[in-house]
Structure 1
């Protein structure tokens, strides 16, 4: 069955498979099908030149396709792994970390290591030494939503 399909479609079957996979990547983006689609297109391009040779059977084509899919997926992962590390706004989605170094006034006293401050328009739970309400504190560390403070 596979042999008959490979003979009937010829090298163009790989091009069709590659284009279908690329369209599927557009429909359901995940940056994975693109590499398999590219491997299919490359096998189709190689098949155009090697189709008439006796050794370029469908088994060899599948083997080359599998190897190229793995190679392209690994190469693509390495390319995309380094993207997005450098940003002009490194603290954009890390709001609590962007507060480190800011000073505030305690809205509620720190009792037993816990209190609250108000920075901008948000109330933040804080951890630190026991201090009365109204004391000035500086944010020294961010742990999730909790801020660690010290007396300013």
Structure 2
């Protein structure tokens, strides 16, 4: 009875109000769940402006459109982003493997520090004097493993 009265008084604008409320809820909620329901309500509201329908048909149409758009939308969102991005994005040290740098200070007891750009890295390797050109061979956590390029 209440649904029938609301639809009778507001007509297609009820669907627009519901659609906009659902889209607003999408902004507050994580994910893209409410987006599909909001878009479905807007589509039903638009159709109801141009085509005279019983309120029961509008509700069934909303349900069908919501389910279809939810399934299609989930599939689209799942496929988006595959194969994109930089695989080494959060592994900055791995990007440094193979690079050569000159030690600014000596390495003693197999450990030292290496300045690369604006960062200071812990390094592990042999005992090398300052000025030795070293190549980064691997990364162990936040420590770079180095070996000399030229004889120490």
**Is 1:132 matched with 2:116?**
no
Shift of 1:77: 0.9
Deviant stretches of 4+, over 6 Å: 90-93
Q: Rg larger in 1 or in 2?
A: 2
Q: Residues of 1 paired with 2:61 and 2:74: CA distance?
A: 20
Query: What is the aligned partner in structure 2 of residue 145 from structure 1?
Result: 142
Alignment of 1:82-101 (within 5 A): 82=82, 85=84, 95-101=92-98
Q: Residues of 2 paired with 1:91 and 1:101: CA distance?
A: 14
Task: Name the TM-score, length of structure 1 as normaliser.
Answer: 0.63
Over 3 Å counting, the alpha-carbon distance change for 1:108 and 1:122 in structure 2 is farther
Query: What is the aligned partner in structure 2 of residue 9 from structure 1?
Result: 10
Over 3 Å counting, the alpha-carbon distance change for 1:92 and 1:139 in structure 2 is same
Q: Confirm or deny: 8 A CA contact 1:110 1:116 kept in the other structure.
A: no
Residue deviations 1:13-59, cap 9 Å, x none? 2222223333555x65856244332222223334446652586153x
Q: Confirm or deny: 8 A CA contact 1:104 1:119 kept in the other structure.
A: yes
Q: Confirm or deny: 8 A CA contact 2:100 2:134 kept in the other structure.
A: yes
Q: Residues of 1 paired with 2:52 and 2:109: CA distance?
A: 79
Q: Which runs of 5 or more structure 1 residues have no equivalent in the other structure? A: none
**Is 1:73 matched with 2:73?**
yes
Query: What is the aligned partner in structure 2 of residue 37 from structure 1?
Result: 38
Shift of 1:74: 0.8
Over 3 Å counting, the alpha-carbon distance change for 1:131 and 1:40 in structure 2 is farther
Over 3 Å counting, the alpha-carbon distance change for 1:19 and 1:119 in structure 2 is same
Q: Residues of 2 paired with 1:4 and 1:120: CA distance?
A: 69
Q: Confirm or deny: 8 A CA contact 1:18 1:39 kept in the other structure.
A: yes
Task: Name the TM-score, length of structure 2 as normaliser.
Answer: 0.63
Q: Which runs of 5 or more structure 2 residues have no equivalent in the other structure? A: none
